[in-house]
Amino acid sequence: MKNNRAHSLDAFRGYAIVAMVLSGSIASGILPGWMYHAQIPPPLGIFDPTVLGITWVDLVFPFFLFAMGAAFPFSIGNKLEKGESRLKIVWDCLLRGFRLTFFAIFIQHMYPWVTSSPQDVHSWLLALFAFVLMFPMFMRIPVKMSKWLRRGTQLSAYTLGIVILLTVNYANGREFSLSYSNIIILVLANMSIFGSLIYLFTINNKWTRIAILPFIMATFLSSKTSGSWPAEIMNYSPIPWIYKFYYLKYLFIVIPGTIAGEYLKEWLQHKTEYISSRSEKTSTILILLLVIGIIVFNLYGLYTRQLTLNLFVTISIFICLIQLMKIESPNIEYWKKLFNAGAYLLMLGLFLEAYEGGIRKDDSTYSYYFVTAGLSFMAMIAFSILCDIYHYRKIVKPLEMAGKNPMIAYVATNLVVMPILNLIGIASLLDFFQQNAWLGFIRGIIITMLASSIAIGFTKLKWFWRT
């Protein structure tokens, strides 16, 4: 039977989560500016919205959002194909969003620096216990038991988690607050709800799905007029600790991701894992190099503000790719669809670059949404070639396995790796890596490898956290 697992999507998601962990683990303040968020430059690491451009760090969150959208045709589409009702799927989407919101609140309150200042043994043990407690919350326990016992175990874990949240003595006089949550996970929760519902009701009409985006843009632009009804929509929230209209801006990345997912799902039905001719083999290698080149050069051009050069080099690479994709092949037809969508969005983002002063992740600009969505399509092509055509397993297999367990990978550093290193007394050795840029980067590599190994280990055990 043909294996229709989207390995390239798993690896793409894994790259995003591993890069996210790495960006948060490297030594602060001593590496070049392009190793951090562009608007948080070294050495002070203080937010400066006057800094323009993006770095590789500013790509990892959009990549993850894009991968989330690309997964909807598989998760939601497969449910519909199995005959599940839309009402049941709506409930599942809402439940997933609320569980992600709980996850965002819970982990934020369980970080060791939140429960103790300075951190101590109690805070490290509590972090480890919180990590263990999330297994019955988010994992299907691999033990044969009745449905009611399984639900009871899960409910008991949530109840104990809530009790801990309400009774812990937090550091610096902090108290439990629903509004104190991990903003990255909270945005993902909103995208999980709104993105999946939009996809569910536009599954057969991608143009309707795309047509929603201009109305979101219009609301953002019109809300700048004080007293207008778009301003009222922007400022209104019945549950502000979960939802703000402001979060919907990331639909500009998630919705294009759903289209990429549809292209991927369609291709998996009749993909070929071999290359039929020498010309196709040469073209495939060149396509891989050029799509990676587009990503790298746009990061360089936008960060160094060589905008005209960046535009012309991007167009030149596009022309080369158009020529390379003229070969008739199911694989190249798939990549061509991704390329056409990505090239359009990237060019739109580059044309909008000067609007709002220049591209920024924070406060995010429209050029940021379109550029990162366009580069995400290019990354999908690269991972398709690496995973599905050449099967570079030593490179992509760890990413793929981490991508299957992103929730564990995301929290492993702060709830497992650092608490254990502190408990066994060797965390202070990491201070040695603060001496220069190379050592600072090695510090990030070490921590990222440890955190990723935890996620990969549980993936091998088939212990997955799911919402």
For residue 466, tell me if it sits in a domain. no
C-alpha distances in angstroms, 344 versus 318, 381, 405? 10, 15, 32
Number of Cβ atoms within 10 Å of the Cβ of 95: 12
Mean pLDDT of 180-198: 96
Sign of the alpha-carbon dihedral angle for 335, 291, 452, 369: negative
Mean pLDDT of 9-37: 93
Query: Is 60 exceeded by the pLDDT of residue 1?
Result: no
> 431 Cβ partners below 8 Å, 6+ apart?
none
For residue 2, tell me if it sits in a domain. no
C-alpha distances in angstroms, 71 versus 77, 196, 263, 398? 9, 10, 11, 19
Query: Is 70 exceeded by the pLDDT of residue 465?
Result: yes
pLDDT tens digit sequence for 350-398 = 999 999 999 999 889 999 999 999 999 999 999 999 988 887 767 888 9
pLDDT tens digit sequence for 102-139 = 999 999 999 999 999 999 999 999 999 999 999 999 98
Start-to-end CA span in the chain (Å)? 29
Q: pLDDT value at position 63? A: 97
Side-chain-facing half-sphere of 110: CA atoms under 13 Å: 28
Domain extent at residue 246: 7-460
Q: pLDDT value at position 358? A: 95
Q: pLDDT value at position 45? A: 87
For residue 312, tell me if it sits in a domain. yes
Number of domains making up the chain: 1
pLDDT band at 436, cuts 50/70/90? confident
Q: Cβ distance 38 to 299 under 8 Å?
A: no
Question: What's the rounded Cα separation, in Å, for the pair 301 and 55?
Answer: 10
For residue 440, tell me if it sits in a domain. yes
In the chain, what percentage of residues exceed pLDDT 90? 82
For residue 179, tell me if it sits in a domain. yes
For residue 307, tell me if it sits in a domain. yes
Mean pLDDT of 295-320: 97
Residue 125 structure tokens: 């043990």
Query: Is 90 exceeded by the pLDDT of residue 23?
Result: yes
* 139: phi then psi, degrees, rounded to nearest 5: -115, 140
Task: Identify the CA nearest to 45 among candidates 448, 442, 440.
Answer: 440
Mean pLDDT of 392-412: 90
For residue 387, tell me if it sits in a domain. yes
Query: Is 80 exceeded by the pLDDT of residue 142?
Result: no
> 53 Cβ partners below 8 Å, 6+ apart?
38, 302, 303, 304, 305, 358, 359, 360
Q: Which residue has the higher pLDDT, 45 or 367?
A: 367
pLDDT tens digit sequence for 442-454 = 999 999 999 999 9
Mean pLDDT of 245-270: 94
Q: pLDDT value at position 34? A: 93
In the chain, what percentage of residues exceed pLDDT 70? 97
Phi-psi region of 26 (alpha: psi -120 to 50; beta: other; left: phi over 0): beta
Sign of the alpha-carbon dihedral angle for 161, 164, 166, 168: negative
For residue 426, tell me if it sits in a domain. yes
Query: Is 90 exceeded by the pLDDT of residue 431?
Result: no
Task: Identify the CA nearest to 299 among candidates 70, 19, 29, 48.
Answer: 19
Q: pLDDT value at position 99? A: 96
Query: Is 70 exceeded by the pLDDT of residue 3?
Result: no
Query: Is 70 exceeded by the pLDDT of residue 338?
Result: yes
Query: Is 50 exceeded by the pLDDT of residue 306?
Result: yes
